[in-house]
Amino acid sequence: MPKGSHISDKKVDYYQTEELSIDFGKKVPFHVDGELYFSTTFEVRLLPLALIIIYNPEGNHFFNE
């Protein structure tokens, strides 16, 4: 079980919300039922405790290509 100690790390931005709009400025991949799609903007409504997003902008992944 995670302890949450990462939340105080200066590299972590921690938010709690019911709605979220994200604009990446370029098309990024996402999956729905195993299908791959691309979009620039995401509008998300959350159910309590139903979604956790972890993103490392300095990591080795699609965003740094």
Decide if 19 contacts 51 (C-beta within 8 A). no
Secondary structure of residue 31 in the 3-state scheme? strand
- Average pLDDT of the residues in 48-65: 68
More confident site: 56 or 11: 11
Domain ranges, ordered by start, for the chain: 16-64
Position 64 scores a pLDDT of 54
The pLDDT assigned to 62 comes to: 61
Task: State residue 8's pLDDT score.
Answer: 80
- The string of pLDDT tens digits covering residues 9-41 is 888 888 888 898 999 999 999 988 889 999 999
**63: exposed, middle or buried (Cβ count in 10 Å: 0-12, 13-18, 19+):** middle
Contact 55, 24 (CB under 8 A): no
In the structure, what pLDDT confidence band is assigned to residue 1 with cuts at 50, 70 and 90?
very low
